[in-house]
């Protein structure tokens, strides 16, 4: 297995971040610094990051119904609680993408960096479904502009699936993941999001999971997530 993938599977970071860590000379194999992310390593190799041994930790993926006020980070110094504190696991989990502190709903946590990268990279176009309550009822022109894509300060958004599900509520499906994207898109068409909840990520729906609760995904659900990214159900080395 390539070193960068080994680190990702060991829960250190996504594969891209693992490559950066390797390039900085922070990784040793058998006591020697290695800066080549393509270096082959195996389960019996002594692989360390900053001196800490990396093991092939069992893969875990969890679904969390994130409440408002909880941050989408592994740990945050300060008063605000972190989403990983909602999960009863000894694995080194980190969030797959983000929900801002004011937003609620489905957030995935995993120690599988390779899967996390594929789920969040725009190239794989994994859909994420949101329900947004707006400050005022949206007009047909607003909805049409959201569907077509709007111009933001970091460039135009891709077309989105949008439907009105209530007087002041819309459902929007995105296949890209910019910072606070739904809120900024709604602002750009002259409205404002007053509450935002993610209800699905790829094939996985929030369902009846209570707010503030978490559950570990089954192997079948994880394979469905992999399939949504175009990855084979049984990823090789």
Print pLDDT tens along the chain (237 aa): 889 988 887 778 888 889 999 999 999 998 999 999 999 987 678 899 998 888 766 789 999 999 999 998 766 556 678 899 999 998 888 899 999 999 999 999 998 888 898 999 889 999 999 999 999 999 999 999 999 999 999 999 999 999 999 999 999 999 998 889 999 999 999 999 999 999 999 999 999 999 999 999 999 999 999 999 987 544 433
Cross-strand pairs, 95: 109
Same fold: 3-53 with 61-122+207-228: no
Cross-strand pairs, 174: 128
41 contacts 26 by C-beta, under 8 angstroms: no
Structure tokens at 171: 């459902």
Residue 76 is predicted with a pLDDT of 58
- Residue 30 CA to residue 7 CA, distance in Å, equals 15
Residue 80 is predicted with a pLDDT of 78
C-alpha dihedral, 228 to 56 to 217 to 225, nearest 10°: 0
Of 194, 200, 177, the closest CA to residue 68 belongs to: 194
Rounded to 5 degrees, what are φ and ψ at 119?
-70, -25
Provide the 3-class DSSP secondary structure of residue 204. strand
Structure tokens at 7: 């680190």
C-alpha dihedral, 215 to 216 to 221 to 224, nearest 10°: 110
Structure tokens at 179: 């910072």
Provide the 3-class DSSP secondary structure of residue 129. strand
Alpha helices per DSSP H over 73-215: 113-120, 140-148, 181-188
Provide the 3-class DSSP secondary structure of residue 115. helix
Q: Beta strand pairing status for 47-49 and 52-53?
A: antiparallel
| CATH code for the domain defined by 61-122+207-228 | 3.30.70.580
Query: Of the listed 100, 102, 167, 219, which one is catalytic?
Result: 100
Rounded to 5 degrees, what are φ and ψ at 184?
-70, -35
Handedness of CA 71, 67, 155, 189 (dihedral sign): negative
The answer to whether 100 is a known catalytic residue is yes
Per-residue pLDDT tens for 114-172? 889 899 988 999 999 999 999 999 999 999 999 999 999 999 999 999 999 999 999 99
Residue 204 is predicted with a pLDDT of 97
Handedness of CA 163, 160, 97, 99 (dihedral sign): negative
| CATH code for the domain defined by 127-201 | 3.30.70.1560
Q: Give me the half-sphere count of Cα atoms (radius 13 Å) on the Cβ side of residue 121.
A: 16
- Residue 95 CA to residue 116 CA, distance in Å, equals 8
Residue 20 is predicted with a pLDDT of 93
pTM: 0.76
Residue 236 is predicted with a pLDDT of 38
- Residue 174 CA to residue 129 CA, distance in Å, equals 7
- Domain assignments of the chain as residue spans, ordered by start: 3-53, 61-122+207-228, 127-201
Q: Place domain 3-53 in its CATH homologous superfamily.
A: RNA-binding S4 domain (3.10.290.10)
């Amino acid at each position: 297995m390539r070193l960068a993938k080994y680190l990702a599977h060991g829960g250190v970071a996504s594969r891209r971040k693992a490559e950066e860590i390797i390039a900085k000379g922070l990784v040793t194999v058998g006591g020697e610094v290695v800066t080549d992310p393509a270096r082959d390593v195996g389960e019996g190799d002594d692989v360390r990051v900053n001196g800490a041994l990396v093991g092939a930790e069992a893969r875990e993926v969890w679904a969390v119904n994130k409440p408002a006020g909880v941050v989408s980070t592994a740990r945050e110094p300060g008063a605000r609680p972190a989403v990983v504190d909602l999960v009863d696991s000894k694995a080194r989990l980190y969030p797959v993408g983000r929900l801002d502190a004011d937003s609620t709903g489905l957030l995935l946590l995993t120690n599988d960096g390779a899967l996390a990268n594929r789920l969040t990279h725009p190239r794989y176009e994994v859909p994420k479904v949101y329900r947004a309550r707006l400050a005022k009822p949206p007009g047909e022109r607003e909805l049409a502009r959201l569907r077509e894509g709007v111009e933001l300060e970091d460039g135009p958004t891709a077309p989105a699936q949008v439907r009105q599900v209530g007087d002041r509520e819309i459902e929007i499906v995105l296949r890209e993941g910019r910072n606070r994207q739904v809120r900024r898109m709604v602002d750009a068409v002259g409205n404002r999001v007053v509450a935002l909840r993610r209800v699905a990520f790829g094939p996985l729906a929030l369902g009846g999971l209570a707010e503030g609760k978490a559950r570990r995904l089954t192997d079948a659900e994880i394979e469905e997530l992999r399939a949504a990214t175009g990855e084979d159900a049984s990823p090789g080395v």
